[in-house]
Amino acid sequence: GAVVSQHPSRVICKSGTSVKIECRSLDFQATTMFWYRQFPKQSLMLMATSNEGSKATYEQGVEKDKFLINHASLTLSTLTVTSAHPEDSSFYICSARETPNQPQHFGDGTRLSIL
Amino acid sequence: QKEVEQDPGPLSVPEGAIVSLNCTYSNSAFQYFMWYRQYSRKGPELLMYTYSSGNKEDGRFTAQVDKSSKYISLFIRDSQPSDSATYLCAGSNTGNQFYFGTGTSLTVIP
């Protein structure tokens, strides 16, 4: 149980392209989803928290116009990296949680490479 | 000071050894603790989820929380090559937002 699917797993695109990443909870309803960025040999960096039907809450330093998050249903959240540039290249991981105090379950991540 | 500190390693042990992975945290209000295992190019996989102090055992894995010293540990008995991965600890006070350590890289040598 508690499976989170993230798609695509790998994206390579040109600078200036917008990229959409999907995160789905397959066997539970996720009232909250989280988006992280992970750099090599570094910890998970929380970018934003999204609750179903509400606007996402962004962490300090994360541009909300750059990283658009939508959590329109209890099983789907999307992260759109708008006008991506090489410095946006990273490993993006989503997680989902059914209720507060429950553990987060992670997707397998999306490796984004901007040329 | 980071909320959660974790020695990045790398840690290398022979197959069958007992592995001890440790983290310290700074917020005395933390009550919820998690351990994740992350294989290369994959997302973290939940291993243990504990509340408050004490021990929790699941198969070869034992999680231990010592709130008096703000120290959390994960023990792996009879370690296997398939346990080779990065292990992340995390803590939270409300169970809402979790703070992650940087991860410890473990290699179990056959």
- Torsion B89-A60-A91-A94 (CA) sign: positive
Across the interface, of A105, A108, A111, the residue whose CB is closest to B46 is A105
Across the interface, of B32, B43, B88, the residue whose CB is closest to A101 is B32
Chosen from A4, A28, A104, A112 to mutate, greatest number of chain B CBs within 10 A: A104
In B1-110, which ranges are E strands?
4-6, 11-14, 19-25, 32-38, 45-51, 54-58, 61-66, 71-76, 85-92, 99-100, 104-109
Question: Which residues in chain B have Cβ-Cβ distances shorter than 8 Å to A4?
Answer: 43
**Can you give the pLDDT at residue B51?**
87
CA A3, CA A17: separation in Å to the nearest integer? 30
Nearest Cα residue to A39 out of A85, A86, A80, A91: A91
Token pair for A73: 């249903």
CA B11, CA B21: separation in Å to the nearest integer? 9
**B43 with A109: Cβ contact below 8 A:** yes
Burial of A70 by CB count in 10 Å (0-12 exposed, 13-18 middle, 19+ buried)? middle
Are A23 and A94 spatial neighbours (Cβ–Cβ below 8 Å)?
yes
Peptide bond preceding B110: is omega within 30 degrees of 0, i.e. cis?
no
**Can you give the pLDDT at residue A54?**
85
**Can you give the pLDDT at residue A102?**
84
**Can you give the pLDDT at residue A67?**
97
Chosen from B38, B39, B40 to mutate, greatest number of chain A CBs within 10 A: B38
Please list the pLDDT of chain B residue by residue as tens digits (110 residues).
Answer: 789 999 888 999 999 999 999 999 999 999 999 999 999 888 999 999 998 888 999 999 999 999 999 999 999 999 999 999 999 999 998 877 889 999 999 999 99
Please list the pLDDT of chain A residue by residue as tens digits (115 residues).
Answer: 789 999 999 999 999 999 999 999 999 999 999 999 998 777 889 999 998 888 899 999 999 999 999 988 999 999 999 999 999 999 999 999 998 878 899 999 999 999 9
Give chain A as a 3 state SS string.
CCCEEEECCEEEECCCCCEEEEEEECCCCCCEEEEEEECCCCCEEEEEEEECCCCCEECCCCCCCCEEEEEEECCEEEEEECCCCHHHCEEEEEEEECCCCCCCEECCCEEEEEC
**A41 with B32: Cβ contact below 8 A:** no
Least CA distance to B51: which residue of chain A? A101
Least CA distance to B87: which residue of chain A? A43
Across the interface, of B43, B49, B95, the residue whose CB is closest to A100 is B95
**A44 with B95: Cβ contact below 8 A:** no
